[in-house]
Structure 1
Amino acid sequence: MTQASSGAATSQKGFLGWVERTGNKLPDPVFIFFYLIVVLVLISIVASLAGLSAPHPTKTIEGTDDPFIINAVSLLSSENIQRLWVDMPKTFTHFHPLGYVLVVMLGAGVAERTGLFGTAMRAAVRNAPKFLLTPMVALVAMVGNLAADAAYVVLIPLAGVLFAAAGRHPIAGIAAAFAGVSGGFSANLLPGQLDALLFGITEAAAESIVPTWDANIAGNWYFIFTMTLIFLPVIWFVTDKIIEPRMGGYVPQGPAGEMVKDGDKPLSQDQKKGLSHAGIAALLVCAVWVFFTVGPGTPLIDEAARPEARLSPFYKSLVAAFLVLFLAAGWAYGAAAGTVKGHRDIVRMMSEAMADLSYYLVLAFAAAHFVAMFAWSNLGLIFAVQGADAIQASGMPMPITLGMLVILTGVVNIFVGSASAKWALLAPVMIPMLMLLGISPEMTTATYRVGDSATNIITPLMVYFPLILTFCQRWQGNFGLGSLTATMLPYSAFLLVGGLVLVMLWVVLGLPLGPGAALHYTLPPQ
């Protein structure tokens, strides 16, 4: 433990040292939003006095064909001061991501605390053949993002044990799992908590230009599924051909050997029974949702809507679907495995899940007011219109524009680790700007996700970075911060390149992002 502490505290030099020192000087994201609000107020005053304006892209002056002019509004105007203080509860509670995240986490918290997520990940990778161990670890790690913190706490140290038991270097296993969980943060086979979080922010940004735009939590499903298929061979290649050969062989001895013996234990009969019951529960929930969609009355289909909008109720119901799915599967697992004794345990687990979100609630309060005040000032829409005009005038191809957004997000990610905080900063300008250029909010969100994922694994400011370092030091005491960053750099570079190519090809081919989520977007007539 002494070695772990000293390794983590070692000061880095060069670029990594600069990143570490600069990032450590940044305030907490909650206060970043507070400072940004102060700056925003000052900018709104200057913009209002300077008469900054832009033509609205869809509205016209009533009775004429002249465009409606959007003027910058000072946040210290009487109207906006009144809004700030009178509407404060509404501003917070109507922040779109808040409801989405709270609902999904009620179910996911139960699935995590009953042990379902951890046992499912162990079962998925434990018996993998030696030559398939890397891709199995990477795939389960990416899917494990549905389990949020559990993937970091359970799978990553387990990957080290499994690699060591297979006669491979344990740190290579930890690196592969870390690359999958965090580098493949947005890649997955199914939408989940992250989709609820990001699309809530996307909806708030899109509504600044099209008030009727509704988020679809499955709006990136096809994209993140393909992203998983792209990232899986990338992580496999980097682990087996670049990282592990540099590390050489490893023979676990002493305490490390004991970890292999303890960590490679087979699943108990109760755990196997729990997984079986959880699978049955999940299938039943899926069957219920299919029945609601195609059964009598089709409650999740709007038969009176336009053909492209008929499935809108189904898409909107997916947030609730994930709540029921996680809750049912977690409860079924816990009842069979013995981790749930009665309904009071379920209520306790749901309460603990809400307690875990206490910091997020504070962050959401600050982010909600920044996003709302940005909209009140009209600056977001003005910048979006002017930015769209500038891109059109430059003749820059759309794939290049989106590629630049990927790189911008990746750079910002080194300093601001929170996915929701970054997207709350970028979305109010990026979403409307690209909507004006014919790019859907779903495509812009997908592009952001690529940049957000790729550099997670190389910044010491990532909240789990010290924990991963500790996992590594259990196997190699002198493994320091620089060692971990250097190990993860090849993953970051290859994932970034793979993600960039994916985004550009997606635009060129014009593929849909998910069910009911097209690449292109046409502003509705007013």
Structure 2
Amino acid sequence: MPTANAAPKTAMQRFLDAVERVGNMVPHPVVIFLILIAIVIVLSALLSTFGAAVTFERINADTHEIETATTEIRSLLDIEGIRFLYASLIPNFMSFTAVGLMIAAMVGAGVAEESGLVTALIRKLVVVSPAWALTYILAFVGIIASVAADAGYLVLIPLAGIAYLAVGRHPLAGLALGFAAVAGAFTVNMLIKPLDAVLVEFTNDAAHLVDPNRSIGLASNVWFSIASVLFLTVIIAFISDRMIEPRLGVYKPEKSVDGTVPDQSAGLSERESRGLRYALYGLIGLILVFCFLTLPSWAPLRNPETGELIGNSPFMNGLIALIMLIFLVTGWSYGIGAGTLRTLTEVIGAIEKSIKNLGGTIFLFFVLSQFVAYFTYTNMGTVMALSLSGALQAANIGALPLLLGFILVVAIIDLLLTGAIAKWAIFAPVFVPLLMKLGVEPEAVLAAYRVGDSPMNAITPLNAYFALVVGFAQKYDKSAGVGTIVSLMLPYVLWMYVLWTALFAGWQAFGLPWGL
């Protein structure tokens, strides 16, 4: 990785360099997950033999009632476990939603990239935006991208790398910025998204254990979420500019055939400008179609029972389709205007090219899907989460220290259980009633969960998209590996936890309203 020679490295930079060297000494990610699968199989057999189990209360996802359950460690080496290992191989992969999302997103993104739309848009952004604002714009858009579920991982992160490259900055810094924004602030947004509906529903079910008349709404964390988005935008951008990019130094891109370095920051040509106009026309046409499909009360993309559009509706549940169509339509429209991608055959060729490049990633996802399924089957993550939450619950401390301890427990467990909904189904019936009895509003408990659940997403290898980011990085640095990403993301994770937790503590201490 290129480094700057002008100034000596700080102690933190030397530490991160060491983390990167050690991390990159580990085997290929596929080998890592094969080793982890073997460890899970052996541990499950040992823990099951010793009868490891835990009893707890949880929210039934179907009836929304509190039920008592006992979770035992399940062995992968007994008769049922061996049957599961054998029979679930293909179902594990087919149910791994990250694969479908990735392929669907690349159908549109491949056309947009091959036509030249992505490069033209980035260059246009560079021209119209002050140089200092680029980092903040990308950080803000990355956080907001969570409204489109996991599409931000597949679209915003590589775009951030391209944007940095376009202005002569290190593209790995752009990738790190995008990953920190998309993953590290995933549970907050300025808009209400489907995840909020599920988290609020589970919160209400838990609150009814103490007060059957106490309920919170979808916007119960909206003020804290909006403040968190703005706060984290500044933090992420500041860390990128002051810590990540100086450590990476000057990036030296590959030269073209004639020995020159392509100028990505030049003004747009007439053909490119015409292509952008065509892309705008295509976008407007697509928006009109979706207005017809969503705005009328009878619109087919509304919830057929409640009529709602934002929340549990076909529109929100299938938002990845809209993302795909936006890139597909605007990419092809740009190609027609700029003369780079005119025929349907050329469009299909662009799609095929983008999907061919996913071969290694798809194989990695195949192995990763097996590990996630095996780990879930054994119940080891659930038992560990409940054991930690039980220890925290038993601690005789005040409300605010308990909230801060709760954030820490959620952060630790997020290394093993990355699903925000699954963890909240376990934690809500424990901590919401406990803290309500101490005078803490359920809105505050949910806000604490948002803080604890997000930043660790940027550093846990169990994040389905962590390996994908490694692949993005190798496009610019062939030697990049797991250690490279971990060393880039550590400063974000640490400072986001410290400062975001401080914001939460101040919010709670001053009694500010969490939402509507």
Query: 1:426 and 1:324 mapped to 2: Cα distance?
Result: 27
2:15 aligns with 15
Note if 1:402 corresponds to 2:395: no
2:356 aligns with 355
1:434 aligns with 427
Query: 2:386 and 2:96 mapped to 1: Cα distance?
Result: 24
Q: How does 1:48-63 map to 2 (within 5 A)?
A: 48-55=48-55, 57-58=57-58
Deviations 1:123-164 (A, max 9, x none): 012243xxx32013541476476645643553223223xxxx
Question: Of Structure 1 and Structure 2, which has the larger fraction of its residues in helix?
Answer: 1
Assess, with a 3 A threshold, how the Cα gap between structure 1 residues 121 and 370 changes in structure 2: closer, same or farther: same
Would you say the 8 A contact 1:75–1:81 is kept in 2?
A: yes
Query: 1:120 and 1:290 mapped to 2: Cα distance?
Result: 25
Assess, with a 3 A threshold, how the Cα gap between structure 1 residues 229 and 502 changes in structure 2: closer, same or farther: same
SS at match of 1:295: coil
Deviations 1:153-207 (A, max 9, x none): 53223223xxxxxxxxx78xx7975664354344799999xxx9xx9xx99xx9x
Letter in 2 for 1:38: A
Would you say the 8 A contact 1:92–1:365 is kept in 2?
A: yes
Letter in 2 for 1:379: M
Displacement of 1:40 in angstroms is 1.1
2:334 aligns with 333
Query: 2:86 and 2:243 mapped to 1: Cα distance?
Result: 56
Deviations 1:426-476 (A, max 9, x none): 8798555434546899986775443445999xxxx9666687789xxxxxx
Displacement of 1:93 in angstroms is 0.5
Assess, with a 3 A threshold, how the Cα gap between structure 1 residues 510 and 469 changes in structure 2: closer, same or farther: farther
Query: 1:190 and 1:333 mapped to 2: Cα distance?
Result: 34
2:215 aligns with none
> Identity across aligned pairs (percent)?
24
Assess, with a 3 A threshold, how the Cα gap between structure 1 residues 244 and 45 changes in structure 2: closer, same or farther: closer
Displacement of 1:288 in angstroms is 2.7
1:41 aligns with 41
2:380 aligns with 379
Assess, with a 3 A threshold, how the Cα gap between structure 1 residues 123 and 465 changes in structure 2: closer, same or farther: same
Query: 1:189 and 1:429 mapped to 2: Cα distance?
Result: 15
SS at match of 2:71: strand
Query: 1:464 and 1:307 mapped to 2: Cα distance?
Result: 37
User: TM-score, structure 1 length as denominator?
Assistant: 0.65
SS at match of 2:105: helix
SS at match of 1:267: coil
Structure 2 runs not aligned, ≥5 long: 61-65, 143-151, 203-220, 433-444, 462-468
Letter in 1 for 2:132: T
2:75 aligns with 74
Query: 2:187 and 2:77 mapped to 1: Cα distance?
Result: 44
Structure 1 runs not aligned, ≥5 long: 161-169, 207-219, 410-421, 471-480, 513-517, 519-526
Query: 1:241 and 1:37 mapped to 2: Cα distance?
Result: 39
Displacement of 1:408 in angstroms is 8.5
Displacement of 1:28 in angstroms is 2.1
Query: 2:448 and 2:291 mapped to 1: Cα distance?
Result: 27
Deviations 1:319-351 (A, max 9, x none): 211111221111111111112021112111212
Query: 1:288 and 1:113 mapped to 2: Cα distance?
Result: 25
Moved more, 302-311 or 151-160: 302-311
User: TM-score, structure 2 length as denominator?
Assistant: 0.66
Displacement of 1:116 in angstroms is 1.4
Q: How does 1:82-481 map to 2 (within 5 A)?
A: 82-128=83-129, 132-140=130-138, 143=141, 147-148=155-156, 150-151=158-159, 154-160=162-168, 177=174, 180-186=177-183, 229-234=230-235, 262-295=263-296, 297-305=298-306, 311-394=312-395, 395=397, 396-403=401-408, 405=410, 430=423, 433-437=426-430, 447-453=452-458
Displacement of 1:25 in angstroms is 2.2
Query: 2:304 and 2:40 mapped to 1: Cα distance?
Result: 45
Letter in 2 for 1:156: Y
